Amino acid sequence: MITPPVLVPTQVPVGAFMLASMLSAQNIQTILYDASIEYFHFILNQSPQQFWSASAQRRAQKAVYYFQNARYFQPHLHRTHINNFHHYLSQWSTQFEGWQVGLTDISWSQIPPHDPAAFYSWLYKGSRTPFTDYIHQQLIPNIQNYQTSQIGISLTYLSQIYFTLELRIALAEIDIEPYIGGALIHVLDNQTGKTFNFDGLFNRNLPSKFKFLEEKSTSRSPIKFPLALPIFHRPFRDYFTPVPIVPFPLSRGCYWNRCLFCPDQDKPFQKYEITLLEKFLQEVTDLVGDKQIIFNICDSSVPTGPLNQLLPFFKSNQAQFYGFFRFEKTFLNLDYLQRLYESGARLLQFGLESGSQRLLNLFQKGFDLEVADKVLNLSQQTGLKNYIYLLFGLPTETEADREMTLEFVQKNHAAIHFLNLALFNLPKFCDISNHPEKYHIQLVDEEKYQQPLQLYVPFSSTDGPIRPRARDFIQYRLQKDPIIRQIVKNTPARVRIDHAVFFGA
Ligand code: SF4
């Protein structure tokens, strides 16, 4: 099971990890091959050339040493190391015209990933990409050493398409026809209403022993797939964190599933069977041994019922955890929050989105700002840290709404440790794009946005240029505010949440 570059280099990729664990539990020997983390190490250890300086490379290696060995991260030092690493990647990228390899993304100015057919034809001209050397010098020889003929490629982001297509050609040269799957392919299946396979380039017909993976559950009863550890091609210590972060979800879909701008509304909600999950987490904990471990509970929204069942496990194993929560009334209880902290919770992520109750109600976020205010302040009393996500530029947003968001953060700044500021992108399929008139918007109806690989679409608003106004507000109003500027400065750049958990521990 291969995960293509680039993914954030801080933890094993969750989708492939869970799938590989399901296969392993069926006695199908499965190797989880995180090509993304290996790719970063490949870039890091290349001999200096004219494209990058030896000093930039040394600074990048020092940065990785810091990420892997610091007891905790200091914001200013962390920022310097992140910038040094990113600077080296930028220098390294200059040998490939128009390409930019980053810590969390890769882009190419000449052919966008939305046009895989054009990119595939370009590859056939024998063109060299930032991946060519890695694929031929390291990945393919390793695959040959494993002596496997069955390879699955798991895709999460559009930018991984570049690598996937190049790998497809390299695998054909050794007579391997890979399968593809993953979150991105699931979205593309839904958008196109058929089995998406890049116009026949990839095999989607799984052999019979894998067919159980395709069974679609129609009930809300718990998912009962047993899980067992796969073989990890790269050890946990390769990731850019001081202790291993292991991701796992308690559920699929989102138990709330009502926010109107959510692109994931088609996913049915299902919990995992907790006893099976606990057994699996024990295996992971035993693998790490007596070292500290942090679990990233990576549900879209962590359901507290299943979480409560796991708290004794976390506590007895002295494991820590973090995850994405909703502002539920359950959290209006200091004793409960204290229990979470004592069981290993360190960081709670919340999608606040806006300080305007009107907008929250309009888009069905399903919580009151009064509750959010109290939850944040109670949670920080226990030692928990709060990571808040704001979303500007929602349809119908006014200057007054934005000011309310600013006021909310100012008022609660002592309880907000990290901030993520984002501009709204309109998912191609969601309630808002399905009923644009309800939200005073019009979709830009150009042909290129009809292509299946366009996951988001531009829009104009009859209320005026909301997006540019929101962008200006973030830049000239929000970030100029000394309180907010300080929170943003203390928020880890680029890698964000997976490093925030190590800030000032
Ligand atoms: S809480 Fe998050 S995942 Fe759940 S519906 Fe809202 S936006 Fe989607």
Question: What is the DSSP code string of 295-362?
Answer: EEE--SS--HHHHHHHHHHHHHTT-EEEEEE---GGGS-HHHHHHHHHTTEEEEEEEEE-S-HHHHHH
Tens digits of per-residue pLDDT, 367-411? 999 999 999 999 999 999 999 999 999 999 999 999 999 999 999
Residue 28 banded pLDDT, cuts 50, 70, 90 = very high
Which residue matches tokens 């190049």?
166
CA of 300 to the centre of ligand 1 (A): 6
Q: Name the burial class of residue 372, with classes exposed (0-12), middle (13-18) and buried (19+) by CB atoms within 10 angstroms of its CB.
A: buried
pLDDT at 190 (0 to 100): 84
296 lines ligand 1 (CB under 6 A): no
**How far apart, in whole angstroms, are the C-alpha atoms of residue 265 and residue 155?**
20
Question: What is the Cα–Cα distance from 177 to 152, expressed in whole angstroms?
Answer: 9
Question: Which residues of 415-461 form beta strands (DSSP E)?
Answer: 418-423, 426-427, 441-443, 456-457, 459-461
Domain coordinates in residue numbering, the chain = 2-49+95-207, 241-500
Per-residue CA distances from 121 to 111, 163, 270, 347 (Å): 11, 14, 41, 46
Centre a 10 Å sphere on the Cβ of residue 295 and count the other Cβ atoms it contains: 24
For the CA of 261, the nearest atom of ligand 1: 7
CATH (residue range 241-500): 3.80.30.20
How would residue 446 be classed by pLDDT, with cut points 50, 70 and 90? low
| Six-digit token string for 22 | 């399901």
What pLDDT score was predicted for residue 483?
95
Instruction: List, in sequence order, every residue forming a beta bridge with 459; answer none if it has no partner.
Output: 443
- pLDDT category of residue 222 using cuts at 50, 70 and 90: confident
- Residue appearing with tokens 């969390």: 104
Task: Give pLDDT, residue 212.
Answer: 73
d(CA 494, CA 74): 15
Q: Is the CB of 8 under 6 A from ligand 1?
A: no
pLDDT one-digit tens code per residue, 39-91: 999 999 988 777 788 999 999 999 999 999 999 999 999 999 999 999 999 99
Which of 250, 252, 254 is the best mutation target for the ligand 1 pocket, counting ligand atoms within 8 Å of the beta carbon and taking the most?
254
Q: Is 256 in the pocket of ligand 1 (CB under 6 A)?
A: yes
Does residue 430 line the site of ligand 1, with CB under 6 A?
A: no
Averaged pLDDT for residues 293-313: 96
Say what the pLDDT of residue 357 is: 98
- Ligand 1 mean position, distance from CA 440 (Å): 22
- Does the CB atom of residue 263 touch ligand 1 within 6 A? no
> CA–CA separation, 454 vs 242, rounded Å?
37
Nearest CA residue ID for atom 8, ligand 1: 262
pLDDT of residue 53: 86
Q: Is the CB of 351 under 6 A from ligand 1?
A: yes
